[in-house]
Amino acid sequence: MIVTISREYGAAARAVSQRVAERLGYRLLDDDLPVVVAAHLGTSPEVIESVEHRRPGLAERLLRSLNAAVPELSQPVLHHDDIDEDAVREIERQVRAAAARGDVVIVGRIAGSILGPGPETLRVFLQAPLPWRIAHVSESLGIGAAEARAEIDRIDRGRHAYAEERYGIVLGDPKHYDLVIDVSRFGIDETADLIASAVTHHLRA
């Protein structure tokens, strides 16, 4: 079974994903993906990691990027000539390769759209009200609320623009996911339990 987890920035996706992987005994594809892609392309993981958080311009509509997990601060802003179509294809190739091996939790990368719907894929979107996300980012990074809000806005806008321009979807639109959860309502552990239970139920069906 493949679990893809997309999210609003600051919705505790990394913590939730780690717990889901532990509960299911699955591999977790999160920080490893930028490292692998960077190695294949001869660049740094930081360059790969930052791509998704940019807001692409009109000249960049065919460019792709990937998603990070919980709060990463002040990642470098790249110019369009720093991004390569080969990088995007490598990201997608690695996501598909991980899915082909099965039993994996894939965080971000718009993996649900890369793979599409399927009987062996559970596409999850994690969200939370803005005040909750501001508090989470602020606490996680040790920064003020205003700085946290600015970072949330920057990354969310970049992710939304990428999802729309690359895959033609509205990030967070329920029709693109099998399960949408408000992390602020259930908390990190219970959110992970809900996702793991959904996978277990599907496997038993």
CATH class of the structural domain 2-204: alpha beta
User: What is the structure's pLDDT at 43?
Assistant: 52
Q: Which comes out higher in pLDDT, residue 165 or 198?
A: 198
Could you give the residue ranges of the DSSP H alpha helices within 142-182? Answer: 145-167
Window from 45-49, 61-65, 163-167, 196-200 with minimum mean pLDDT = 61-65
Task: Say how far apart CA 110 and CA 158 lie, in whole Å.
Answer: 12
Tens digits of per-residue pLDDT, 144-156?
Answer: 999 999 989 988 8
Task: Say how far apart CA 205 and CA 201 lie, in whole Å.
Answer: 6
Name the average pLDDT for the chain: 78
Task: Say how far apart CA 37 and CA 43 lie, in whole Å.
Answer: 8
Q: What is the average per-residue pLDDT within 54-63?
A: 39
Could you give the residue ranges of the DSSP H alpha helices within the chain? Answer: 13-24, 32-41, 45-50, 85-101, 111-115, 130-141, 145-167, 183-204
pLDDT band (50, 70, 90) for residue 205: low
Q: What is the average per-residue pLDDT within 120-134?
A: 95
Secondary structure letter of residue 122 according to DSSP: E
Whether the predicted pLDDT of 65 surpasses 50: no
